[in-house]
A and B are shown apart, each in its own frame.
Chain A
Amino acid sequence: MTAETLAPAIRRRRGAPARELARWAYGVLGILVLAAAWELYKLLGPSDGVVIGDARILPRTTDLAMPHTWDMIARLFDPVTRSATANPLWLEVALAALVTLGIAAVGWLVGIVVGFALALIMQRWRLAEWGLLPWIILSQTVPLIAFAPVVRSWGSRIEIGAFEWQDWMSVAVIASYLAFFPIAVGALKGLQSPDTIHTELMRTYGVGWWKTLVKLRIPASIPYLLPALRLGAANAVIGAVVAEVSTGMQGGIGRILIQYAGQASGDPSKAWGPIFGSIVLGLAAAGSVAILGAILRNYRRVEINA
Chain B
Amino acid sequence: MKHSTRRFATVGALAVSAALVLSACSGPADSGTGSNTGGGDDELTEVKLQLQWLPQGQFAGYFAALDQGYFEEEGLDVEIIPSGGDIVPQDALANGDVDYAIAWVPKVLGSIEAGANVTNIAQIFQRSGTLQVSWADSGIESVADFEGKKIGSWGFGNEWEIFAAMAEEGLDSSTVEIITQDFNMNAFLQGDIDAAQAMTYNEYAQLLETVDPDTGELYTEDDFNVISYEDTVGAMLQDAIWADSEKLENDEDYQDTTVSFLKAVIKGWIFAAENPEDAAEITLAEGSGWGPSHELWMVNETNKLIWPAENGIGFIDQAAFERTVAGALSAVNESGAALITEEPPAGVWTNDYIQQALDALEEEGVDVTGENFEPIEVTLNEGGQ
Contact = CB atoms under 8 A, between A and B. Distances in A.
Interface of A: 60, 62-65, 80-83, 124, 145, 148-149, 152-153, 156-160, 208-209, 244-251, 254-256, 258-268, 270-271
A153 B92 contact: yes
Interface in B84-136: 84-88, 91-92, 95-98
Contact of B184 (A152, A153, A247, A263): A263
4 residue pairs, one from A and one from B, having the closest CB atoms = A248-B84, A267-B383, A157-B29, A259-B289
Contact of B206 (A124, A245, A266, A270): A266
A157 B96 CA distance: 9
A206 to B, nearest CB: 13
Interface of B: 3-4, 21, 24-26, 28-29, 54-55, 81-88, 91-92, 95-98, 182-186, 189-190, 206-207, 209-211, 213, 284, 287, 289-294, 381-385
Contact of B213 (A63, A259, A267): A63
A128 to B, nearest CB: 10
Given A157-B29, A250-B82, A263-B184, A81 B385 contact: yes
B81 A64 contact: no
B206 A265 contact: yes
Contact of B186 (A254, A260, A265): A265
26 contacts: A65-B186, A81-B291, A81-B384, A82-B381, A82-B385, A145-B85, A152-B87, A153-B92, A157-B28, A157-B97, A160-B21, A160-B25, A244-B84, A245-B85, A258-B54, A259-B289, A261-B182, A262-B184, A263-B206, A264-B183, A265-B184, A265-B209, A266-B210, A266-B384, A267-B384, A268-B186
A265 B97 contact: no
Contacts of B97: 152-153, 156-157
Contacts of A255: 54, 84
A266 B291 CA distance: 11
Contacts of B284: 81, 83
Contacts of A246: 84-87
Contacts of A208: 3
Contacts of B287: 250-251
A159 B184 contact: no
Contacts of A266: 206, 209-211, 294, 382-384
B86 A148 contact: yes
Contacts of A263: 184, 206, 289-291, 294, 383-384
Contacts of B87: 149, 152, 246-248
Nearest to A254: B84
Nearest to B182: A261
Contacts of B290: 81, 263
A270 B291 CA distance: 12
B60 to A, nearest CB: 16
A149 B384 contact: no
A247 B86 contact: yes
A247 to B, nearest CB: 6
A158 B25 contact: yes
Contacts of B184: 261-265, 271
Contact of A262 (B3, B91, B183, B207): B183
A149 B189 contact: no
Nearest to B92: A153
A241 to B, nearest CB: 11
B214 to A, nearest CB: 12
A268 to B, nearest CB: 8
Given A160-B24, A160-B25, A263-B289, A209 B186 contact: no
Contacts of A81: 284, 289-292, 384-385
B3 A265 contact: no
Contacts of A209: 3
Contacts of B186: 64-65, 264-265, 268
Nearest to A262: B183
Contacts of B182: 261
A245 to B, nearest CB: 5
Nearest to B286: A250
A217 to B, nearest CB: 16
Contacts of A260: 289
A261 B29 CA distance: 37
A65 B190 contact: yes
Interface centre among A62, A64, A65, A208 (most CB of B within 10 A): A64
Contacts of A62: 190, 213
A258 B91 contact: no
Contacts of A153: 92, 95, 97
Contacts of B292: 81-83
B209 A261 contact: no
Given A159-B28, A255-B54, A262-B184, 7 more contacts: A64-B186, A64-B189, A81-B385, A152-B87, A153-B97, A263-B184, A263-B383
